[in-house]
Amino acid sequence: MLLFIVNTLKSFEHACSDLQAAVINHGFGVMAVHDLGETLRSKGIDFSESCRVFEVCNPQQAAAVLGRDMSLNMALPCRISVCTDSGQTRIGMIRPGEMLHVLSSDPQLLDEAHQVDASTSAMINDAALQTEFASPLASRKVAP
């Protein structure tokens, strides 16, 4: 399946916040967040849904992919979307393993992509869970 989408009972803002924390907890970083809903509304388009696209990356895995095939830079970073659809909050992505399978037949790259797929799927599932999801930054102690 090319798309991986999970519904959550969380509000849009809560899901966005929990996705940020899940990305960090899985050793990735958020490179950028694009608020597509706000962008469309700022252009005068009547768009009632909310939609943010998070560009996430694990530097070691990205370097491994680019080291084998620089043309795959166009497939990076991974994008995870949080959106509403008729009141339902959804978190989803295009599966990295499936996408890379279309772009390359290199078995090492496919292995790397499946590892990223497992990590990003876990992030989405973590963010969608109905439990409180504490950021790892909140539990760190700061030295005086």
Domain presence at residue 78: yes
CATH number reported for the structural domain that contains residue 8 in this entry = 3.30.310.70
Instruction: Tell me the residue range of the domain where 10 lies.
Output: 3-128
Pairwise CA distance, residues 35 & 140, whole Å: 29
Domain presence at residue 84: yes
> In Å, what is the CA distance from 113 to each residue of 16, 72, 74, 98?
24, 11, 14, 8
Confidence of residue 131 (pLDDT cuts 50, 70, 90): low
Domain presence at residue 144: no
Domain presence at residue 138: no
Query: What are the phi and psi torsion angles at 128 (to 5°)?
Result: -80, -20
How many CA atoms does the CB half-sphere of 51 hold within 13 Å?
Answer: 14
Domain presence at residue 83: yes
| Per-residue model confidence as pLDDT tens digits over 45-73 | 999 999 999 999 999 999 999 999 999 99
Domain presence at residue 99: yes
| Per-residue model confidence as pLDDT tens digits over 71-121 | 999 999 999 999 999 999 999 999 998 998 899 989 999 899 999 999 999
pTM: 0.86
Crossing angle between the packed helical segments 107-128 and 12-25, to the nearest 10 degrees: 130
Domain presence at residue 10: yes
**DSSP-assigned states of every residue in 2-43:** -EEEEEESS-HHHHHHHHHHHHHHTT-EEEEEEEHHHHHHHT
Pairwise CA distance, residues 52 & 75, whole Å: 18
Domain presence at residue 135: no
Q: How many domains does the chain have?
A: 1
